[in-house]
Chains A and B, each alone.
Chain A
Amino acid sequence: MTTTVPSTRSPKRIGFGHRMSAWDLKLSPYLYISPFFILFIVVGLFPIGYTAVISFMDWDLVRNTGEFIGWGQYEWVLSNPKFWIALRNTFSIFLLSSIPQLIAAIFIAAMLDQNIRAKTFWRMGVLIPYVMAPVAVALIFSNMFGDQYGIINTMLNRIGIPDIAWHSNAFASHIAIATMVNFRWTGYNTLILLAAMQAIPRDYYEAATVDGAGKIRQFFSITVPSLRPTLIFVIITSTIGGLQIFDEPRMYDQYGTGGANSQWLTISLWLYDIGWGEWNFGRAAALAWILFLIILAIGIVNLFVSQGLIRDEGGRGQLTRKQRRAAVRAARASVAAEAHGTPGTSSASAQKETVR
């Protein structure tokens, strides 16, 4: 092997050092990425495969082995009414948290995108909830949403609305848990969307203003369509995270079993209960795989839908006359800007930094 070391440039200098450096060039990339892959194989790939194996077993904790029973665990999970309740709850909480959150995030980002004063102050302000642990958020909100003495019910009473059973009513409990998720993540997603908004060329707005479009019209005709790729990114990540929800429902009462009638039992919560409450690893493994397949299925649907959307964006028919006019104007403006030349571009400054 060592003789095949490429040495076309200076055939006379095939010394030990040269051979070493060729190997160095070839091998070191693999060496550098190996920590990730080694760790992923040990704590990622192996457990995934082993989860599949265990899911076909009746696992014996004492002997630490299992007996193959085929699809039995999957049948048990899928025929258990608790699974369907947990699935319903998970989706209900997910929808209640993601949709209002995205809408709120878009509007807050649009406000932060204005020429406001003290930008950093407001941006940091919306991110404050993010540093609080979900467990802590859940403890605070489960107290605020108390059925009897919670501040939310007290406030509602003041404006004439009778007590809402935030814990015993399933839908109300989903709203309460979704509120925790929204509290923690709205600001985070706001900043992501804000970054995307700032990447929209300002000329579009200028052109629209010249054309007489108001702020609101500009928001719906320029801002929202330009956000599409970022929105897809946010939706996919929040789907993956949202369907795994555990911390908030676990802490919604002191027992952590999802309520007396499984009002807010989620799939992850049930998985924990099967695995480390009933100590039935076979069933827990089967449920884990079912959860993964659900996430995968929704991810693929997301991908297809979003790809369709992106392809549509290239279509000419999608553009309104104003957008087309704005695009032409933007192109003209950018040509003009290039002609003037812009000193201190980002690439130059980045280069400076790396040299330092």
Chain B
Amino acid sequence: MSATTSMPLHLDDSEIPTEERRPRRRRRGIAVDRPGWFVYTALGFVLLASLLPYYWSLLIGSGDSSTIRDTNMSWIPGGNFFANAAAVVNNEAVNFWTALWNSIWSSAVIALSVVFFSTLAGWAFAKLRFKGGNILLIFVIATMAVPTQLGVVPLYILFADLGWTGQIGAIIVPALVTAFGVFWMTQYLRQTVPDELIEAARVDGANSFRTFLTVGLPAARPAAAMLALFTFVTAWNNFFWPFIVLDPQNPTLPVALQLLQSNYFVDYSVVLAGVLLATIPLLILFAFAGKQLVSGIMAGAVKG
């Protein structure tokens, strides 16, 4: 789709008389032309490559078990997607609805908790002066280099002792606040909130927590929204620890997807229909919040 739409875009561009285009160039102050067809074609291929796996899963997921063996397979989706999706949903070993619900609520709880505690800690690191603050912040950043693998054995023993294995709580609790979130909010609040504002709140008689609520939280809103998005996506896609600690009876979506493939006979039309089904919620999220994700990554990069 992209390769074809990019061409007319370019043609439109060249149809505009040069006299009309010139002022727009001037505004940026650079003598760069609109790029030629090569850039659009190359970007079109990138977009195509980004979409191909999605389309491939639709193609196989809408066929039947023989589609995958058909070397002259059609590039138009078949009519079996809903039948295959039903096979996923009705597969008793997979517990699809439980997995979907678990993924939704655990990711939401993790995102909210990470945002709240990270904003609180970020506020302290960015705007409140206290002994050891800088060293503690460096420590927070350093913890990001610690791999998950280093803690999983004792964590598993701990949660097994508590009787939490198989419980969604076991994947929520370790993720309640992240070093990345604290670092992110610290950077943002440091740049956006002027110290005078805090002084003003204090003069007005607000205590420290009230100042945070009335000055810090509103200022943090844009960065908090981005952090919530990233945390949600990361939690939703997380596999290693949920795979270890959860049971097949009470999975999250990635764990359930793994179960789809673990049978001796693998029907890929059902597996890929399940993949698509499990990805749809995030695609909907992307449709609404993709712009924020893009600007979040770009904003984080400049500061990071």
- How many residue pairs between the two chains, A and B, have CB atoms under 8 Å in the bound complex? 306
| Complex-state Cα separation, A327 to B46, whole angstroms | 34
Digit string of A35-46 for contact with B (CB within 8 Å is 1, else 0)?
A: 111011001101
Q: Is A165 an interface residue (CB 8 A)?
A: no
* A128 engages B50 (CB within 8 Å): yes
Residues B291 and A32 in contact, CB atoms below 8 Å apart: no
Cβ contacts under 8 Å, B144 to chain A? 240
Bound CA–CA A251/B177 (angstroms): 28
Q: Give the Cβ gap from A175 to chain B, nearest Cβ, in Å.
A: 15
Report chain B residues within 8 Å CB of A335. Answer: none
Docked CA distance A335–B121 (Å): 39
Proximity bits, B210-254, A CB within 8 Å = 1, else 0: 001001001100000000000001001101100110000000011
Question: Does A30 contact B32, Cβ atoms closer than 8 Å?
Answer: no
Known contacts A116-B39, A206-B30; A254/B149 CB under 8 A:
no
Q: Which of chain B's residues 284-304 have a Cβ closer than 8 Å to chain A?
A: 285-286, 290-291, 293-294, 297-302, 304
Q: Give complex CA distance A111, B35 in Å.
A: 9
User: CA separation between A268 and B153, bound complex, in Å?
Assistant: 12
* A28 interface residue per 8 A CB criterion: yes
Q: Are B279 and A128 in contact (CB under 8 A)?
A: no
Q: Which residue of B lies closest to A46 (CB)?
A: B154
* Contact A32–B123 (Cβ < 8 Å): yes
In the complex the two chains form, is A247's CB within 8 Å of B272's CB?
Answer: no
Scan residues 253-290 of chain B and give those whose CB is less than 8 A from a CB of chain A.
253-254, 257-258, 260-264, 266, 268, 271-272, 275, 278-279, 282-283, 285-286, 290
* Contact among B174, B215, B298 with A195 in the assembled complex (CB-CB below 8 Å): B298
Whether A195 lies near B130 (C-beta < 8 A) is no
A350 near B191 with CB under 8 A, answer yes
Q: Which residues of B contact A251 (CB under 8 A)?
A: 258, 261
Q: Point out the residue from A33, A130, A254, A288 that lies within 8 Å of B125, measured CB to CB.
A: A33
Q: Answer whether residue B26 sits at the interface, using C-beta atoms and an 8 A cutoff.
A: no
Contact A247 B240, CB 8 Å, known A26-B130, A123-B294, A195-B297 = yes
CB neighbours of A139 from chain B (8 A): 257, 260-261, 271-272, 275
Answer whether residue B93 sits at the interface, using C-beta atoms and an 8 A cutoff: no
Question: With an 8 A cutoff between CB atoms, is B86 at the interface?
Answer: no
* Contact present for A291 and B34 (CB under 8 Å): no
Determine the chain B residues whose CB is within 8 A of the CB of A244 once the complex forms: 147-149
Residues from chain A with Cβ under 8 Å of B136 in the complex: 33, 37
On chain A, the residues within 8 Å of B56 by CB distance are: 140, 143-144, 151
- Contact present for B240 and A183 (CB under 8 Å): no
The reply to whether A32 and B9 contact each other, CB–CB distance below 8 Å, is: no
Q: Which residues B104-150 have CB closer than 8 A to chain A? A: 117-118, 120-121, 123-125, 128-130, 133, 136, 140, 143-150
B278 CB contact (under 8 Å) in A133, A351, A355: A133
B192, chain A: closest CB distance, angstroms:
5
B40 at the A interface (CB under 8 A): yes
Q: Is the CB of A285 within 8 A of B153?
A: yes
Name the A residues within 8 Å of B83 (CB-CB): none
Q: Which of A44, A143, A206 has the most CB of B within 10 A?
A: A143
Q: Report the nearest B residue to A245, measured CB to CB.
A: B240
Q: Which of A7-15, A184-192, A315-323 contacts B (4 or more CB under 8 A)?
A: A184-192
- The CA-CA distance from A301 to B203 in the complex, in Å, is 50
- Chain B contact-residue range equals 35 or more
A219 at the interface (CB under 8 A from B): no
- Given the known interface contacts A133-B237, A133-B257, the answer about A254 and B294 at a Cβ–Cβ threshold of 8 Å is no
Cβ-defined contact, A126 with B283, below 8 A: no
Contacts of A140 in B (CB 8 A): 53, 56-57, 272, 275
Interface hits, B8-44 → A, CB 8 Å: 9, 13, 25, 28-35, 39-40, 42-43
Q: Which of A48-56, A75-83, A94-102, A166-174 sits within the interface?
A: A48-56
Q: Please give, as numbers and ranges, the residues of chain A lying within 8 Å of B31 by CB-CB distance.
A: 206, 209
Q: Does A262 contact B (CB under 8 A)?
A: no
Interface membership of chain A positions 227-252, coded 1 if the CB is closer than 8 angstroms to chain B and 0 otherwise: 00010010000001001101100110
Of listed A25, A133, A240, A291, residue having the most chain B CB within 10 A: A133
- Judged by a CB distance under 8 angstroms, whether B54 is at the interface is yes
Given A35-B177, A151-B56, A196-B301, 6 new contacts (CB under 8 A): A114-B34, A117-B13, A191-B301, A192-B304, A205-B32, A246-B239
Chain A residues within CB distance 8 Å of chain B? 21, 24-26, 28-30, 32-33, 35-37, 39-40, 43-44, 46-48, 50-51, 54, 64, 108, 111-112, 114-118, 120, 122-137, 139-141, 143-144, 146, 149, 151, 154, 183, 187-188, 191-196, 198-199, 202, 205-206, 209, 230, 233, 240, 243-244, 246-247, 250-251, 254, 256, 268, 271-272, 275-276, 281, 284-285, 288-289, 291-292, 295-296, 299, 350-351, 353-356
29 contacts between A and B (CB under 8 A): A28-B209, A29-B129, A30-B130, A32-B128, A46-B154, A47-B150, A47-B151, A47-B154, A50-B153, A51-B151, A111-B35, A111-B42, A114-B39, A125-B43, A128-B51, A133-B236, A133-B253, A133-B257, A136-B257, A136-B275, A137-B53, A196-B302, A256-B258, A268-B149, A275-B152, A288-B150, A292-B150, A295-B145, A354-B193
